[in-house]
Amino acid sequence: MEWLLETLGEICRKGGGKIQTGPFGSQLHQSDYRRNGIPVVMPADIVGGKIAITRIARVSETQVERLKKHKLSKGDIVYGRRGDIGRQALVREENSGWLCGTGCLKISLGDGPLAYEYLHRYLSTPEVIGWIEGQAVGATMPNLNTGILERIPVFYPPTKESQRKIAAVLSAYDDLIENNKRRIALLEKMAEEIYREWFVRFRFPGHDKVKFEKGVPGGWEVLPFSKAVLINPVERISRDVEKPYIRMEDLSVSSMYFLSKEMRTGNAGSKFRNHDVLLPRITPSLENGKRGYVMTLEEDQVGIGSTEFIVLREKILTSEHIYLLTCSSDFRKHAELSMAGASGRQRVQENCFDFFLVNVPPQEIRSRFTQIVRPYFSGIKALSNENINLSSTRDLLLPRLISGKLSVENLDIRFPPSMEEADGEA
């Protein structure tokens, strides 16, 4: 079966679709945004091929109706016009009716020969991203425009059934990854709930037999955090040996797990070992809940990170206890307050931990707590590693499927849940 090669502009015109820019700044002002309302998709909201809603802007229905030609429909693809111009997201059912915002471009295929799921995958290939970056205008800040998108060469099989089969193979991996992410979030939530139950509500095993003194269970100590935890412990490491390097962007706001993406020589920066906790020392990373529990290093291996981390290590409290404590809002607010009045770039002041008091239980309770929650941490690591492998396999399959080197014609492919509706439309 001969594959076709056409520009994206030609494909859109065949289906009555269109490529257009979002509203200009003169059409949508800062005063138009509301706390509640219809979401407006900006470039910063395009994350990992999807539209993130964590900090999305919103406008009233009246504003959306005024700018209705910029409304998003299921199957549209939205691009950021500046900066990381390879970013694009597929508009899903839950995003339908939202507004394409200032700084974005919208692709609507219409009823043409191309399945939107296939186009979304095609546009995510490194070759296409490289082509777009080569066409971008502007030396300081690359810019994307409708003309560039219209000229993108699209190589595709002639039937939508074949196109959707290709997308279905890749979507199956995405669905597995998302399912693992939900399991990871559940494990972390369970660990956090046990922490709150034992050390915030004081409903630990045997609490009903313990007398409280000044609000603290008998036998417990109240210590400064800096006495219960090693803060930025000294590590002597070789300058010339490559070591895992962690940047702030490697940490997550939703999971403890992260993976070092590069190796570096040198010994400057924060030095850490397995089971250390990495705490951001700058805002907004601290405010936004960036978190890191080191589970990626080999035995006796030392990693280095940017100077934007404070390294916390076991002393009296175990590493799991430290991690869950540092995720609490009280701890984060205390760290943020230490930035007040600092000149230049605001950073958490390490001496602030001398004044944050923690309730330290007896050894028996600390050991029992660790025994219960450590399997949750191990489960998170296992699921995260599985996601790494799934992502790697999907990314290896992508160029082979999109180029036609790996045929799906004779495969009986079961469409994943995320594409079941599209399967019915085929």
Tokens of 143: 């810019």
How far is residue 3's CA from residue 158's CA, in Å, rounded to a whole number?
Answer: 6
Q: Say what the pLDDT of residue 425 is.
A: 47
Which residues make beta-bridge pairs with 291?
252
Per-residue pLDDT tens digits of the chain, which is 426 residues long: 799 999 999 999 999 999 999 998 889 888 899 989 999 999 999 988 999 998 899 999 999 999 999 999 999 999 999 878 889 999 999 999 999 999 999 999 999 999 999 999 999 999 999 999 898 877 667 789 999 999 999 999 999 999 999 999 999 999 999 999 999 999 999 999 999 999 999 999 999 999 999 899 999 999 999 999 999 999 988 899 899 999 888 888 878 887 777 899 988 889 999 999 999 988 778 888 888 999 888 888 999 988 889 999 999 999 999 999 999 999 999 998 888 755 556 788 888 999 999 999 999 999 999 999 999 999 999 999 999 999 999 999 999 999 989 888 877 777 766 676 544 444
CB atoms within 10 A of CB 143: 13
Q: Say what the pLDDT of residue 426 is.
A: 44
Tokens of 270: 């924060």
Q: Say what the pLDDT of residue 139 is.
A: 62
Query: Is 4-158 assigned to CATH 3.40.640.10?
Result: no
Helix (H) or strand (E) holding 359: strand 357-360
How far is residue 390's CA from residue 413's CA, in Å, rounded to a whole number?
Answer: 18
The length of the chain, given as a count of residues: 426
To the nearest 5 percent, what fractions of the chain are helix, strand and coil?
A: 40, 20, 40
How far is residue 14's CA from residue 207's CA, in Å, rounded to a whole number?
Answer: 71
Q: Say what the pLDDT of residue 420 is.
A: 63
* Nearest partner of 35 among 50, 55, 52, judged by Cα: 55
* Nearest partner of 288 among 234, 250, 246, 332, judged by Cα: 332
What pTM was estimated for this model as a whole? 0.84
Residues with Cβ < 8 Å from 426, sequence gap 6 or more? 115, 160, 161, 164
Q: For the chain, which residues make up each domain, given as ranges?
A: 4-158, 221-360
Q: What is the CATH number of domain 221-360?
A: 3.90.220.20
Q: What would the pLDDT profile of 102-114 be if each residue is shown by its tens digit?
A: 999 999 999 999 9
209: helix, strand or coil: helix
Q: What would the pLDDT profile of 125-143 be if each residue is shown by its tens digit?
A: 999 999 998 988 776 677 8
Alpha helices in 136-205 (DSSP H): 146-150, 160-199
374 by Cβ neighbours in 10 Å (0-12 / 13-18 / 19+) ranks as middle
Contact between 247 and 277 (Cβ < 8 Å)? no
How far is residue 196's CA from residue 176's CA, in Å, rounded to a whole number?
Answer: 30
Upper half-sphere CA count for residue 403 (Cβ side, 13 Å): 11
Contact between 109 and 12 (Cβ < 8 Å)? yes
4-158 and 221-360 have identical folds: yes
Q: Say what the pLDDT of residue 249 is.
A: 83
How far is residue 272's CA from residue 341's CA, in Å, rounded to a whole number?
Answer: 29
